[in-house]
Structure 1
C-alpha cells in the first residue's frame, strides 16, 4: 500500500483547507524572518557627524563603531540598546532622554550633557569623560568600569539613584551634590579633589578605595560597609555616620573631621588614625569640647581604643557624639 495514500486522499478531500493552511504557514514563517531581521542591530562604522540633530525619532538596537560626533544633539526620546564603541563625542547633548541598556565602550566623551535624562541599566566601560554633566536626571543600574571622570557633575539626582557601581575608576574634580545613592558600590577606585555635598549613601559598599584631598560636607551614611579604604588630606564637615555603618581597616591621614556625628560606638575599633589628622570630640552627653584626654569614663564619654600609625599624636576621643576641629596640640596624648 502506498504510504502516501492517506495524504493524497486528505489533499483531494480538503484541498482548499490545505492551501489555506500552507498560506498561513508561509505568512507565519515570513513574520518570523522579518522579526529576526528587525532584531539584528544596525551598524554604523567609521562615520563623522557634525552639527546633527536627532530629537523626535527613537534610536533602537543600533551600533556606532569608530564614529565621531561633534556638536550633535542626540536627545531622542528613547535610546534603547544603543552601543557606542571606540567613539568620540564632543560638545554633544543627550538631554531629556531615556537611555535603556545603552553602552559606551572605549569612548571619549568631552563636554557632553546628560541633563534631565534617565539612565537605566547603562554602562561606561574603559571610557574617558571630561566636563560631562549628569545633573537633574534619574539613575538606575549604572555601571562605570575602568573609566576616568574629570570635572564631571552628578548633582540634583531626582529621587534615589539605585545601584551605581564604580569599579577600578579614577575620578578627579567630580562633584556629587544633593543626591541620594542607594546601593552605591565602589571598588578599587580613587577620588581626587572631589566634592560630596548634601549626599546620602545607603545600603552601600565601599572597598579598597582612596579619597585624596576630597571635601565631604553634610554626607549621611547608613547601612554602609567601608573596608580597606583611605581618606587622605580630606575634610569631613557636618557628616552623619549612622548606627548601621561598618568601618573596617579604614585610615584617616592628614585629614580634618569637623562637627560630624557617629551614632555607633563600635565603628572605632578598626579605625587607623595617621599623623596630622586633626580631630577632637564633643560628647553627646556633655556638649562640651574635650581638649585633654579624659581620665575617667562613663556612659556619656566612653573612650574607645584606636589603632595609631607611627605613634601619631592625633587620636579619636569618645565614640558617640560630634567631632570638631581643634589645634593639634590639644589632641596629644602624652
Structure 2
C-alpha cells in the first residue's frame, strides 16, 4: 500500500506532540512554527522541504529521510540525527539551536550551519568535509576522529579541536580562531 503524498503544502502552527504528523512523503512542503518536541517524526520522507521556527527538542527522527531539507530558526536540542535514514541525506541549518544534538558517525559533507548554537554537539567520527560554520557557536562541541578536511571555521566561535585526532587538511581558520586548535596544550596566547 502506497504512503500518502503531500506536495507543495504549508503546515502552520500545528502541534504534533499529541497527534503525530501523518506518515507519508512530503515534497516541497513548508512547516512554520510547528511543535514536534518529544514526539515522533520517525519513518517520514521529506524532500526539498523547509522547517521554519519549529521545535524539535528531543524528537525521535529514526529512519526519517531528509533530502535537501532546510531548517531555519528551529529549536533542535538533543536531536539524535544519526538515527535518521542516511540515504540521500542532505540538510542545511540557519539560526538553529542544535545544542546537545548528535551527528555521531554521519556522512554529512558540504553541510552549512549558519549562525547556529551548537553547544555540546557530538560530531565524533562524522564526515563534515567541505562543510561551513559561519558565525556559529561551537562551545564544548565534540570533534573526535572527525573528517574536517576543507571545512570553513573562519567565523566560527568557541570551538576546541585537537589536530592530532581529527583530519584538518586545508580547513580554514581566522587568526583569532587558531586558539581553538591549541587549547589542549594549555598555551597562553596574548
TM interval, short-chain normalised: 0.7 to 0.9
C-alpha change, 1:111 and 1:255, in structure 2 (3 Å) is same
- 1:265 aligned to which of 144, 161, 165: 165
State how far apart, in whole Å, the 2-side matches of 1:231 and 1:168 are. 18
What whole-Å deviation, never above 9, does each CA across 1:225-264 have from its counterpart, x for those lacking one? 1122111111101111223x22232111212124x45486
Structure 1 residues 112 and 267: CA distance shift in structure 2, 3 A? same
Assess if the C-alpha contact under 8 Å between 2:143 and 2:166 holds in 1: no
Return 5+ residue gaps in structure 2 as ranges. Answer: none
Between 1 and 2, higher relative CO (CA 8 Å, sep ≥ 6) is seen in 2
Aligned to 2:47: 145
Gapped regions of structure 1 (runs ≥ 5): 1-38, 40-60, 62-80, 84-102, 293-329
- Say which SS state the counterpart of residue 43 (structure 2) adopts: strand
1:232 pairs with one of 134, 148, 155: 134
Within the candidate set 65, 76, 81, 1:176 is matched to 76
Once the 2 structures are TM-superposed, how far is the Cα of residue 106 of structure 1 from its aligned partner?
1.3
Structure 2 equivalent of residue 208 of structure 1 = 110
The answer to whether the 8 Å contact 2:51/2:70 transfers is yes
Taking the aligned partners of 2:15 and 2:130, their CA distance within structure 1 comes to 34
After superposing the two structures, state which structure 1 stretch, 193-202 or 174-183, moved more. 174-183
1:162 maps onto 2:62 in alignment: yes
Q: Shift of the alpha carbon at 1:265?
A: 2.2
When you count helix as a share of all residues, which structure comes out higher?
A: 1
Scaled by the length of structure 2, what TM-score is found?
0.81
Cα displacement string for residues 123-161 of structure 1 (whole angstroms, at most 9, x for unaligned residues): 321011100111112343333211121101111235xx3
Q: How does 1:1-334 map to 2 (within 5 A)?
A: 81=3, 83=4, 103-115=5-17, 122-157=24-59, 161-184=61-84, 185=86, 186-187=89-90, 189-243=91-145, 245-258=146-159, 260=160, 262=162, 265-274=165-174, 277=177, 279-280=179-180, 281-283=182-184, 288=186, 290-292=187-189, 330=190
Give the conservation status (yes or no) of the 8 Å contact 1:124–1:145: yes
Q: Please state whether the residue corresponding to 1:171 is helix, strand or coil.
A: strand
Distance across 2 between alignment mates of 1:134 and 1:262: 35
TM-score by length of 1: 0.49
Q: Which entry has the higher C-alpha Rg, 1 or 2?
A: 1
Q: What's the offset of the Cα at 1:210?
A: 1.7
